[in-house]
Every structure is written in structure tokens, then in C-alpha cells.
Amino acid sequence: MSVVASDSLLENELQALLDRLSKRDRLRSEATLQSDIRHLLLTGGLNLAEHDLDVALETPVGDGRRIDIEVGFTVIEVKKDLSGAAVLRAAEKQLAGYVRTRSEQTGQRYVGILTDGTTWRAYHLRDDELTEATRFELKQPRPDLTSLLTWLEGVLATRKGIPPTPGEIVTRLGAASASYALDRAVLGALYAEHRNLPTVQLKRELWSKLLRSALGTQFTDDDELFLEHTLLVNSAEVIAHLVLGLDVTDMQPATLLAGQRFDLAQIYGVVEADFFDWVLEVPGGDSFVRTMARRLARFDWATVEHDVLKVLYESVIGAETRKRLGEYYTPDWLADQVVAEAVTDPLNQRVLDPSCGSGTFLFHAVRRHLAAADQAGIPLAAALSGLTNRVLGIDLHPVAVALARVTYLLAIGRDRLIDSQRGPITVPVYLGDSVQWAQRVDLFTEGHLLISTGTGSQLFEDELRFPDRLLADAGHFDRLISELASLASKNRTTGTVPPLTAIFKRLAIAEADQPAIKDSFGVLCRLQDEGRDHIWSYYIRNLVRPVWLGRPENRVDVLVGNPPWLSYRHMPTDMQEVFRKMSEARGLWHGKSVATQQDLSGLFVARAIQQYLKIGGSFAFVLPNAALDRGYFAGFRSGKYSDGSEQVDAAFTGSWDLRRIRPHFFPRGGAVVFGRRTDNAPYMLPAETTRWTGTLPRGIHSWEAAAPHLTRMPAALTISSTEAEGPSPYAGRFSNGATIFPRVLFFVRPQPASPLGFGAGRRAVQSMRSSTEKAPWKDLADIIGVVESEFIRPTMLGETVLPYRVLPARESVLPIDGNDLLDSENPKLDLYPGLADWWRSIESLWEQHRSSTRLTLREQLDFRHKLSSQLPAQPLRLLYGKAGMHVAAALVDNPNAIIDHTLYWGTVTNRDEGLYLCAILNNPALTQLVRPLMSYGKDERHIDKHLWKLPIPLYDGSNPAHRRLVELGQAEASLVAELDLDETENFVTLRRKVRQALSSGSHAEEIANIVTELLGG
């Protein structure tokens, strides 16, 4: 349903009204402006009538003051023109009084809107002052009616029955929405004001400790992330209530975030006290939760057909944060098909997603199990009991776990959850470390689960001890722990340990197990008395489960999921050390020049198979496409993962190659691998795959919608045995250029000359900026200086190379003195004062803003000697771009030019050899031959040195075919040189024009035939 009324006449009327509002007509009265805005609110599809909300003009607020427009919990102040700073400040002060008074009168959180029809500002009250949270500007010549109404609806929260589609979730709850801006602003204000409260500090500290323990140095401990996590988890907990059809607008906030209604309904493991309920302990927190619940109640959560909470997560947590954690969430249509392929007997197979994220695979596994149960006529209570023992999830991120638990409920569906025949259920999604980076072998001792609490005397610590046979029924054990913790909390003030008879009887606890439980309950009570009870129930129920599932007798039948994708080069140092050690032990480490490309996903799958999959069990994992054919995944494809402590072998049964689906749904090309765990009988991943192709329209989520656009066909993989070498003798001659990064420190453009000049041999320069810069470098001010001309070097980038032609070089300040690189440690630097000032300035910026690298700026600049190896430069070099799906190669004869890392370069003996290579490299036949060897992203990318894996022979002037390629190369070079190109155009456009000219020329076909015959294509 559109927020704009469907009648076209009304829409035209509203558009005309918006045109009037946006013009700031000084002759228009405020009364007319108020009337127009009221009309917009009433007729703009905001469902005010359904909420029985009046849009009142000039409502009295006391002391003779009147609110211009009041609707629900929002007051709107209207002014003719707010473009002046003084008028704006006065209006904000006036609005603050209205918001403050209404909040005091009602005990509800009010929002204030200030507008002159063109600019709309929404405010919340912070420290008794208004703070702007979000703003909307009407743009000429045609103001956007739909966007304004969406913004207003987000502030007012008046719609009902909004379908929770991915698009609606992003628009109305995502980080760019007015709803998010207001809730996030209020939450931030609450935290800023009360962050020093002991209870808030404690929960903030516990959150930090848990994530640091789970994620290591990947975790960035900052308040912004804590607040985003708080908002996400609190939202998920409210949504969980809405799934059941509960009226959250009429519930106490403490009841909402503690999950009391779930306990009463005998639905366990969904909502529980955690780090994020600190909002209930601060003044104003109740009002915040109520308002957030009202915004979420706009949606009809009974109609969910996908894992929509991942959409909410991705719209709130930034892409850089998710990249650092290797979080790439799977489209629903793909998860649906992976589950359908892997789970062949849903009523009897136990399925685990060891990296469940927000629960996409769990959603489809739950739906598949319940569909099979319905078809088999299994009663609801038995179907749900079987489900929660057979579909399980683990993740090490507390926010992901909170979302996945609600996703699990969404998959079960409201009708089943409210059915009186349902019976008690526990959602089996656990917080835990599936890789077990630090293996816990100490939790099970002599038939008991044993957890030290760190309390008691110096000789004897208090322990929580439970017979481990109780863990066989996860739901049963979880209810026991929850009830013990709840009872300990309720009886904290009595000073006595209450009897457990009722719990023992209700949960049918064997008499032999009761003494240990009584002892553990006593410890829980003492922890309550000492104020140290905060996480033990959480800890026992969550972190223990992965260890228990890893015991051979408890392993599952099917593993599915999408493990974290994280390259070695992006791992923190501590994690790199452990990753390499674990990978080497399992034969997964490739090393050499591709060590930095090693990926966590391969180790994760091997470790998950070892930990959780029974012999004969099957697996299906979504992985980077490199897993199918890149050399650094060779150990993974072998299927041999034994680490010396246990035999771990996999027999791969097939794969799906997804890299040719457009648009790409991951930052890197994707694939799915299938297999089973065997008993000492590994089977390598077959070179035959199923290739998926097709173009998916925007907004496709279900398999039913995606299927008509996709085609599957058998295909052969070209397996790369190595990454850096190949049969061509040219492989060792070509090298990657220098890492001149961050560019803002080195690349420059000329400054206007001073009337007084700068002296001979000196030039004024300042930083050359780029739209592709990333934080923190994009936030730096330009660097300005006067530098000796000899240190301003022409620099060739990937974007300066076209087929057969180079564009004007960029310029960069580089401390190259002859064949030496200068830095602050070299006394020769001060012989050049201009360079010295520049270098020390950028060196200081590097030290302040570099990331985890320990490299000095000189070491960064000459990483792996990629700069110094260019000195002294040879008179003739061949360059080609490292990225892109088409090879572009050209000759450069400027010995002063420096080659950037976006290019590969190599020397050629003479111009004939250079033209010979240019003819081969620039021909489409070469591109087709090298494509199967390249990495995959949006398209084939990163040509790198893959082309030298083709048998390109050394140039032989006596070979007629070689000589003919020289002639043809010269002809094509002349053709390109004569093209009238606007060299200021984007290089992608220029390359396309050159390729079009070459393909329509008279030589392309002959070159293609020679290249194909030469390389055996």
C-alpha cells in the first residue's frame, strides 16, 4: 500500500500543495501554511483516522500559549521562513517549551517538528533542550511527495498493517529512516546522561568482555556500536512479542525486555535479560521503549516470508564493520535452495547452522521441517518438539543470536505459536564459538557439566555442577536453568534457599540428579546476594551448548550455512597467528605469495565438520567462489582435514558456481559446496560444477520469484594449482607496482605560482583528492607545500593505461634520490628542505591515522620492495592493469615514470617484443582464455599474473607468427594513436571506445587466430 492516496486527483492536489509549501512565499500567512500542512497530514495516507488521532490547530498548552499543530505525540511549530539563524533559534526555543510541557503533562516522550514548508526538522528533548535528530528538505523543481510522507510517517508512527518486506524494513526502520534517527538520537542521549550509573557501566563492560572474548581483536570497543546493538536487540525483542500478536503498546517496558510473557506462554530461549536492557534502569528509558514499540507495531509481523531481520541488521550496522567480521548474509532464495538440496529427510535429520547470523538458513530449515510434519499428519506439539531438537543454530555474535531467535519464531508462524495444542518449546539458537579458537575441554568432568564461578575460599571455589545427561534434551535443560535463575532472583531478599520440589516435579528430574542441582542453586543464590548473578544463566545455556554438540555422540546429520568470509590480510595479528597454526595443522595453509588471500571460511568449514558432523553426515556451505578453483583453497578441496588428534575427512559430492549471476549479492563471487563426512576416505572437490547464470530483477527474495530468471547447467572448472607462476617464461619478468597509499599523502596537483615565485627547481603543490578515498584519509585536510621538482615524479595508475596507449600520468611526491629512498632517518633528507617538510608532515599523519599495521611510512611505500625494484628504471616497459575483466596493455618509454600497484610492469628487450606482447594481451581471444583463471567479484577481476599461466612464449624474431604479431600490433597501435579521444573522460569509457575501434578494425580477427593457435586455445 502506498503512503500516497491512490486517487490520482488527490495525488495531483497534494503535489500542488507541496509545490506551494516548498516556495517559501513571503506573502503567505502562517495560518494558511498551517492549514496546508494539516491538509497534507489528513489526506496523505498517514492513517490518522484509523488511530483516532485529531490533527488539531492552535491547541492550548497553558499560560496562554498555543501549539500550531498537534497530532498524537508530536507537536509541530510552523514559521513562514526558517532560513535565518536568529529566527530558527527563537523557533527552537518556543518548540522546546511545547515539547517539555506536553511530556511533563502526559509522561510520554514527545517529538517536535519545526517547519516552514520547505525544511522539516524533527527534534527530541535532551537535557531540557531540543536536539535535532533528522531533517527533510523539499527540493525544487518538483518536490518529492512520497519521500516527505514517508519521513513524516516515520516520525508520527501512524501506519498500521505495513507488510514487513525487505524494502519496507529498510525504508521505515533502516539507518536512513526518520524512525531510526529519532530512536537512535534518544537512545544516545539516555546513554550520555546515565553512562556512569554502576548498572549501566556493568552491562556495558559485560558486553565488551563477551565480544572481545568471541571476536578477539576484530572487535572494536566503542559506544556507537554498543548503542546500535542495544537498539537492534531491543527491537528484536519487541518484534518477538508482535509475532505472537501481543499488543506491545499496552505492555510494561520491563515486561517486554525481560520476556515474561514468553515464560508464561512456555516459549523459552527467545527473550531474556541481557546487556541491552540497561535502558530500563535509567530515567526516560521506559518512555523510549514504549515509543520504539509503537513504531515497530506498525508492521504486520504475522505475514513474514523471509529473514527480514538480516535486512534490518545490514541497514543499521555499517558495511565496513560487517566486512571486518566477515559477515555476508545469504539471499533467501539461495538459502531456500541450499536447504532443499541438503536436508533430504527433514523429520529425521538433525540440522545445524554453526554460523547462523540472523537465521536465514534456520528460517528455511524450520519451514521445511514443519511442511514435512504437516504432510505426515504429525500433531502440532510433537512437530514442534521434533523441530526444536532437529534444527539448531550457533553464532558468536550476541546481536545475531537475538535476531536469529526471533527469525526462528517468524518461521514457526503466529498461528502455530498461539495454538492451544502447541506445548512448551525452546528456541535452540545459542551464543557460542563454533571454531572453538580456544578449545574448552574443561567443562565436562566425571559425568558432570562443571563451571567455576570464581567465588568462594582460596582453596575451594564455588562451582555450578549439573549431571551432563540433563543436556541431552536442550529445551528441557534450558528451562531448568531459566527457572533456577528466576527463582534465585525472586528469593534474593529472603536470605534462605527456597525448596526446589515443584521444579523437580514439573521437569521430572531424576532423584539421583537432584542433590547436584540443589548445590548449584545454592551457588546461584549466593551470586545473587553478591550482585554477581548477571550472566550465569546466559552463559550456561549458551556457551556450553557448542561444546556439548561437539561430543561424538551428540553430532548432527547435516551442516548448512554461510561461514564468515575473512581474508588473512584483514585479520588482526593475534588472529592471524592462531589461524595459520590451525590451518597448517589441517593442511589448509598454502602460503607463498598468496598467503594474504587465505580465507577463514575454509578453516571454519573444516573445523565445523570436525566438531559437529557425524560420520556419514552431509554438509552444504556458501563460500567465496575462490574455493572452487583458486590455488590457495587447494588444501580445502582435498577433503583431508585431520589435525593429528582426530581423523577428519570429507568426500565432496558437488558444487554450485554462482559467479555469473547478476547483480552479485556478495562483495565477492559466491559458490556452494556439498559433501559428506567420511571415515578415512576423502574425495577431492570435483572439477565439474553446476554453473548458475541469469539476471535477477531488484527486490527478488523468494525462490519462486528468482527461479524464472536463473538457469543451471553443467560446467567444467579450471583449477589453478598456483597463484603467481605459470608456464609462460614471462611470469617471472612482470611485477606489481608500488603501494603508493594512502594517495592523499603522495599524489598532488599544481598550485598557482606565487607572484614572487618559488625559486628555480621548486614547485608548489597540494593534495590531489579522489571520491574513492576512505576514512580516515578522506577526512584529512589537503597537504600544501613547495617541493623540489626532482621529487615530483610522473606516476602511472591503472586508469592511465588503455590498449596500446597511455593517458597523461598523475604526479606524486616521492622521496627518490637516485636509486635510494629517503626518510627521516636519512640525513640526506635535509639537503632538500621542501621535500623534508613534506615528508615529515605526511609521516606524522601516517603515524596518527594508520590502522593496525606496524609499517613505517617508508616501509609502506616500499612494501615488498615494489618501489625500489623499479630503480633505476629501464627505458622501455610494458604495463597492463591488474583489475578488470579485459586486459589493457601499453608500452611506456619514460624512464622517470613510477608504476603504481594498480598496474603490473615488466621490461622488454626492444619495441618489437613490446608490440608482440601488446598484440597478444589486448586481443579479446586472450581475455577469453584467461577469464577462467581470474578472481570473481562483480565480474571477472584482478587479472594479476593469471595471464602468464597461459603458455605465452618468449618473443622470437625468427618466428613468422611472432613477426606477424609485431606488424599487426604496430598497425593497431597506430590506429589507437590516431583516435580522437577526450582524455578527460572516465578511463572505463575510453577503454571501451578503444576496444570498439579495435574490434571493428581489419586486424582483430587475424590476431585472434594467431593467439588462439599460439596458446593452444
**pLDDT digits over 617-671, tens only?**
999 999 999 899 888 899 999 999 998 888 899 999 999 999 889 887 887 789 9
Strands, DSSP E only, in 625-723? 649-662, 670-678, 688-695, 710-716
pLDDT at 939 > cutoff 60: no
Dihedral sign, CA of 29, 30, 31, 33? positive
Question: Which residue did the predictor score with more confidence, 453 or 155?
Answer: 155
Q: Is 63 exposed, middle or buried (0-12, 13-18, 19+ CB in 10 A)?
A: exposed
Domains annotated on the chain, with CATH? 8-159 (3.90.1570.30), 187-322+360-370+396-431 (no CATH), 444-545 (no CATH), 563-716 (no CATH), 735-1015 (no CATH)
Strands, DSSP E only, in 577-663? 613-624, 649-662
**Three-state secondary structure string covering 800-868:** HEECCEECCCEEEECCEECCEECCCCCHHHHHCHHHHHHHHHHHHHHHHHCCCCCCCHHHHHCHHHCCH
Q: Do residues 798 and 887 lie in contact, with contact meaning Cβ atoms separated by under 8 Å?
A: no
| Per-chain mean pLDDT for the chain | 86
Q: What is the mean pLDDT of residues 819-839?
A: 93
Of 966, 971, 931, give the one whose Cα is nearest residue 947: 931
- pLDDT > 70 in the chain, percent: 89
Q: How confident is the model at residue 24 (pLDDT cuts 50, 70, 90)?
A: confident
Q: What is the mean pLDDT of residues 45-51?
A: 68
Residue pLDDT, tens place only, 398-430: 888 889 999 999 999 999 999 988 988 989 998
Q: What is the DSSP string of 749-769?
A: EEPPPPTT---TTEEEEEEPP
β-pair partners for 766: 749, 784
* Cα 746-750-753 angle, rounded to 5 deg: 135
β-pair partners for 463: 452
Question: Which residue did the predictor score with more confidence, 548 or 362?
Answer: 362
Of 244, 316, 234, give the one whose Cα is nearest residue 275: 234
Q: Do residues 685 and 639 lie in contact, with contact meaning Cβ atoms separated by under 8 Å?
A: yes
DSSP helix/strand/coil, 654: strand
Alpha-carbon distances, residue 396 vs 132, 203, 349 (angstroms):
36, 18, 24
Of 440, 413, 408, give the one whose Cα is nearest residue 426: 408
Q: How confident is the model at residue 782 (pLDDT cuts 50, 70, 90)?
A: very high
Q: What's the pLDDT score for residue 42?
A: 86
Q: How confident is the model at residue 72 (pLDDT cuts 50, 70, 90)?
A: confident
- Cα distance between the two ends of the chain: 56
**For 96, which DSSP code?**
H
Q: What's the pLDDT score for residue 468?
A: 78
Cell of 111: 517529538
Of 429, 463, 450, give the one whose Cα is nearest residue 549: 429
Q: How confident is the model at residue 479 (pLDDT cuts 50, 70, 90)?
A: confident
Residue pLDDT, tens place only, 280-330: 989 889 989 998 998 899 899 888 877 788 888 888 776 667 666 656 789
Q: What is the mean pLDDT of residues 536-542?
A: 66
Residue pLDDT, tens place only, 169-216: 888 888 888 989 999 999 999 999 999 998 888 888 878 876 775 555
Residues with Cβ within 8 Å of 308's Cβ and at least 6 positions away in sequence, in order, are 164, 165, 166, 169, 410
Of 859, 957, 955, 857, give the one whose Cα is nearest residue 906: 955
pLDDT at 536 > cutoff 70: no
Q: What distance in Å separates the CA atoms of residue 863 and residue 593, rounded to the nearest whole number?
A: 13
Of 353, 318, 437, 389, give the one whose Cα is nearest residue 554: 389
Cell of 847: 603515524
Q: What distance in Å separates the CA atoms of residue 785 and residue 845, rounded to the nearest whole number?
A: 15
Strand-strand pairing, 556-561 and 351-353: parallel
Q: Do residues 912 and 880 lie in contact, with contact meaning Cβ atoms separated by under 8 Å?
A: no
User: What does the radius of gyration of the chain's CA atoms come to, in whole angstroms?
Assistant: 33
Q: What distance in Å separates the CA atoms of residue 956 and residue 887, rounded to the nearest whole number?
A: 23
pLDDT at 63 > cutoff 70: yes
DSSP helix/strand/coil, 498: coil
Which secondary-structure segment (H or E) carries 475? Answer: helix 474-490
Q: What distance in Å separates the CA atoms of residue 996 and residue 871, rounded to the nearest whole number?
A: 36
* Cα 180-182-183 angle, rounded to 5 deg: 65
Q: How confident is the model at residue 55 (pLDDT cuts 50, 70, 90)?
A: confident
Q: What's the pLDDT score for residue 923?
A: 94
Q: What is the mean pLDDT of residues 73-99?
A: 91
3-state helix, strand, coil in the chain (%, to 5): 45, 20, 35
Q: What is the mean pLDDT of residues 542-564?
A: 85
Q: What's the pLDDT score for residue 941?
A: 57
Q: How confident is the model at residue 475 (pLDDT cuts 50, 70, 90)?
A: low
Largest CA-CA distance found in the chain, in angstroms, rounded: 102
Question: Which residue did the predictor score with more confidence, 897 or 264?
Answer: 897
Residue pLDDT, tens place only, 692-724: 999 999 888 899 999 999 999 999 887 765 444
Q: What's the pLDDT score for residue 460?
A: 38
Residues with Cβ within 8 Å of 724's Cβ and at least 6 positions away in sequence, in order, are 592, 593, 594, 731, 945
Q: What distance in Å separates the CA atoms of residue 801 and residue 798, rounded to the nearest whole number?
A: 6
User: How many other β-carbons are positioned within 10 Å of the β-carbon of residue 526?
Assistant: 17
Which secondary-structure segment (H or E) carries 506? Answer: helix 501-506
Q: What is the mean pLDDT of residues 546-563?
A: 89
Residues with Cβ within 8 Å of 972's Cβ and at least 6 positions away in sequence, in order, are 803, 804, 918, 919, 922, 998, 1001, 1003, 1004, 1007
Q: How confident is the model at residue 354 (pLDDT cuts 50, 70, 90)?
A: very high
Per this entry, what is the length of the chain? 1017
Of 385, 386, 354, 347, give the one whose Cα is nearest residue 368: 347
Question: Which residue did the predictor score with more confidence, 526 or 19?
Answer: 19
The owner of cell 599461466 is 949
Alpha-carbon distances, residue 996 vs 325, 349, 803, 921, 923 (angstroms):
42, 56, 11, 16, 12
pLDDT at 580 > cutoff 80: yes
Alpha-carbon distances, residue 763 vs 750, 758, 784, 822, 826 (angstroms):
8, 7, 11, 19, 23
Of 201, 227, 226, give the one whose Cα is nearest residue 212: 226
The owner of cell 579485459 is 886
Which secondary-structure segment (H or E) carries 904? Answer: strand 903-907
- pLDDT > 90 in the chain, percent: 46
Cell of 33: 501554511
Residue type at 460 in one-letter notation? F
pLDDT at 938 > cutoff 70: no
Question: Which residue did the predictor score with more confidence, 475 or 195?
Answer: 195
**For 788, which DSSP code?**
E
Alpha carbons within 13 angstroms on the beta-carbon side of residue 200 total 19
Q: How confident is the model at residue 944 (pLDDT cuts 50, 70, 90)?
A: confident
pLDDT at 541 > cutoff 70: no
Q: How confident is the model at residue 752 (pLDDT cuts 50, 70, 90)?
A: confident
Q: Do residues 966 and 916 lie in contact, with contact meaning Cβ atoms separated by under 8 Å?
A: yes
Strand-strand pairing, 351-353 and 391-395: parallel
Q: What distance in Å separates the CA atoms of residue 536 and residue 518, rounded to the nearest whole number?
A: 16
Q: Do residues 682 and 625 lie in contact, with contact meaning Cβ atoms separated by under 8 Å?
A: no
Q: Is 771 exposed, middle or buried (0-12, 13-18, 19+ CB in 10 A)?
A: exposed
Of 282, 316, 308, 105, give the one whose Cα is nearest residue 197: 282
Cell of 514: 537432584
Q: Is 510 exposed, middle or buried (0-12, 13-18, 19+ CB in 10 A)?
A: exposed
Q: What's the pLDDT score for residue 773?
A: 87
pLDDT at 15 > cutoff 60: yes
Ramachandran area for residue 569 (φ above 0: left; ψ -120 to 50: alpha; else beta): alpha
pLDDT at 806 > cutoff 90: yes
Q: Is 131 exposed, middle or buried (0-12, 13-18, 19+ CB in 10 A)?
A: middle
Q: Which of 121-125, 417-421, 460-464, 807-811 has the largest mean confidence?
A: 807-811
Q: What is the mean pLDDT of residues 254-279?
A: 85
DSSP helix/strand/coil, 119: strand
Q: What's the pLDDT score for residue 725?
A: 46
Q: What distance in Å separates the CA atoms of residue 625 and residue 691, rounded to the nearest whole number?
A: 11
